């Protein structure tokens, strides 16, 4: 999960957005170049900030900023602000980047190595309020070598370090004049990317226009709007009415556009999974036997078939089954007999109403999910139905993230996580005990010394076999001592008007819609002839 959590807007804001967010995109056909030069997209959430210093765009695909490197359609690293991939020396402890010539920020100031150094040093500064410092734990020092070279010195060889340098670079001459936590740069950013922010109405929309100074050439799509519409049904209705050019939709709503010849559905595979956090501070979910029984009682296959309409896969842990680092043999199906056996042995006995109890404590807990998210709602309800058959009562509640966040310490949440690129990216922040309760990191406050050791080994080793063994240890430990009930990995679905060429999808992380999706490369789109 990205460590700067992107929140859904309140339902009331979504309804207001349905009326006021933005004008209709125009009714021209596919040959209408003017219509194709402006795009309106409906997304479920907006960022808390647009500053990379606080986490915006840290995994790539920011339209306002660029990193030293970027990812192509196949997620392979390619040069962006750097002229080439890094030179790696000193046994993997030194990475040297040479900057691309002639890059300017959108205000006309040139990019220099000092901007890169400022960005990384500020991100790593303990005074900067971001929750992704642990992702750059390997960095010992970052320094400039002249105006066009940046040298990173690492504390230890960190195999996936180059992939961390997709972090967007900010201009020192603007950002350094402000407090990184509270300054206006958070809402009025200046970057080197293909677009500049032209307006932001919180809870309603963000608008962008093409950056004429963009080093990659001015985009053909001259403007786009991200309309923030938290409610899935409202988003689908606005797409159907022509108020939106495209939208992120859950499977059941995307299916309603199958017969619409003017629109096209784009499906992206993802690392995005849905899971129930099981806080150890709770009297019920803090019991390992209960957590193991919950894991055995759920019907993951049915969730994929009925909730996702087949657009996903069962989740047996944080990594999807087709990931090279996935541990074979941990796949498991619904087993109510096993769930009952585990609970019986642990002293949880069925009551008259079928709900188990132990020492006067009923096997009952609340499960929160964010309002307006139909996919999470359906997962939560299916989960509650499944585990009730094992004698565990789950009380499902909807709430805004503002209500959920203070309760995460001791209340289960139907959460979403998943990072692309390397096992370290998704597993460390999800499970390492040092990050327990650190914002949306390790929401379950999971603590297992063997898992911590394996995560540290996987992070610090360059040996492929040793890293694979470490992540095997983590995944097997999660079966024996689950801190989450992993449910499904979700394919992301997008429906767009069929008016452009060049649309593709990438293998996506949890956070999608705003940066990911077919518009990950919107700067490369071409109007259909």
Which residue's entry shows tokens 């500053």? 51
Supply 74's token pair: 């196949």
Res 511: pLDDT: 81
pLDDT band at 28 (very low <50, low <70, confident <90, very high): very low
What are the pLDDT digits (tens) for 376-434? 999 999 999 999 999 999 999 999 999 999 999 999 999 999 998 899 998 999 999 99
Contact 440, 466 (CB under 8 A): no
Rounded Cα gap, residues 97 and 113, in angstroms: 9
- CA distances, 270 to each of 61, 325, 420, 474 (Å): 15, 15, 8, 21
Supply 172's token pair: 């020192």
* Pairing relationship of beta strands 87-89 and 94-98 according to DSSP bridges: antiparallel
Supply 95's token pair: 């990475």
What is the arithmetic mean of pLDDT over 179-199? 97
**Domains of the chain in sequence order:** 1-56+193-268+492-529 (3.40.190.10), 65-185 (3.90.76.10), 273-490 (3.10.105.10)
Rounded Cα gap, residues 13 and 113, in angstroms: 41
Rounded Cα gap, residues 236 and 241, in angstroms: 9
Task: Provide, rounded to the nearest whole percent, the portion of the chain with pLDDT above 70.
Answer: 94
* Residue count (the chain): 529
Residue 167: phi and psi, rounded to 5, are -55, 125
What is the arithmetic mean of pLDDT over 111-125? 98
Return the closest-CA partner of residue 509 out of 71, 69, 11.
71
Res 514: pLDDT: 81
pLDDT band at 529 (very low <50, low <70, confident <90, very high): confident
Contact 399, 371 (CB under 8 A): yes
Contact 39, 221 (CB under 8 A): yes
* Pairing relationship of beta strands 356-358 and 361-362 according to DSSP bridges: antiparallel
Res 33: pLDDT: 55
pLDDT band at 14 (very low <50, low <70, confident <90, very high): very low
């Amino acid at each position: 999960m990205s460590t700067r959590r992107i929140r859904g807007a309140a339902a009331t804001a979504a309804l207001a957005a349905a009326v006021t967010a933005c004008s209709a995109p125009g009714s021209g056909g596919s040959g209408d170049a003017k219509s194709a030069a402006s795009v309106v997209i409906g997304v479920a959430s907006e960022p808390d900030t647009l500053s990379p210093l606080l986490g915006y765009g840290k995994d790539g695909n920011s339209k306002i900023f660029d990193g030293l490197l970027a990812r192509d359609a196949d997620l392979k690293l390619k040069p962006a602000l750097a002229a080439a991939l890094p030179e790696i020396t000193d046994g993997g402890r030194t990475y040297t980047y040479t900057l691309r010539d002639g890059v300017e920020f959108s205000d006309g100031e040139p990019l220099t190595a000092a901007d890169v150094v400022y960005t990384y040093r500020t991100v790593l500064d303990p005074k900067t309020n971001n929750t992704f410092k642990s992702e750059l734990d390997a960095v010992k020092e970052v320094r400039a070598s002249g105006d066009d070279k940046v040298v990173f010195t690492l504390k230890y060889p960190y195999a996936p370090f180059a992939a961390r340098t997709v972090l967007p670079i900010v201009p020192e001459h603007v950002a350094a004049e402000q407090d990184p936590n509270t300054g206006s740069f958070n809402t009025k950013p200046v970057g080197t990317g293909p677009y500049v922010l032209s307006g932001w109405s919180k809870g309603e929309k963000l608008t962008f226009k093409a950056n004429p100074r963009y080093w990659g050439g001015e985009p053909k799509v001259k403007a786009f709007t991200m309309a923030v519409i938290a409610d899935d049904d409202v988003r689908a209705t606005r797409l159907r009415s022509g108020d939106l050019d495209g939208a992120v939709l859950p499977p059941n709503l995307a299916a309603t556009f199958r017969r619409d010849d003017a629109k096209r559905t784009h499906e992206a595979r993802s690392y995005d999974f849905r899971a129930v956090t099981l806080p150890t501070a709770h009297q019920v979910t803090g019991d390992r036997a209960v957590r193991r029984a919950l894991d055995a009682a759920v019907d993951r296959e049915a969730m994929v078939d009925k909730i996702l309409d087949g657009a996903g896969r069962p989740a047996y842990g944080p990594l999807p089954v087709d990931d090279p680092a996935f541990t074979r043999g941990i796949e498991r199906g619904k087993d109510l007999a096993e769930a009952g056996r585990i609970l019986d042995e642990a002293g949880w006995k069925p009551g008259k109403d079928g709900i188990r109890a132990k020492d006067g404590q009923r096997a009952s807990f609340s499960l929160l999910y964010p309002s307006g998210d139909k996919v999470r709602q359906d997962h939560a309800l299916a989960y509650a139905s499944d585990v009730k058959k094992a004698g565990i009562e789950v009380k499902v509640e909807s709430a805004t993230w503002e209500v959920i966040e203070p309760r995460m310490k001791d209340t289960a949440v139907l959460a979403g996580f998943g990072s692309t690129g390397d096992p370290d990216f998704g597993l460390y922040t999800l499970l390492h005990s040092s990050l327990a309760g650190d914002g949306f990191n390790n929401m379950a406050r999971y603590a297992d010394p063997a898992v911590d050791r394996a995560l540290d080994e996987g992070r610090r080793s360059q040996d492929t076999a040793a890293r694979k063994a470490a992540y095997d240890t983590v995944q097997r430990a999660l079966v024996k001592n689950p801190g989450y009930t992993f449910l499904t990995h979700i394919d992301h679905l997008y429906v767009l008007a069929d008016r452009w060429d060049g649309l593709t999808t990438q293998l996506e992380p949890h956070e999608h819609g705003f940066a990911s999706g077919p518009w990950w490369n919107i700067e490369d789109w071409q109007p259909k002839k």
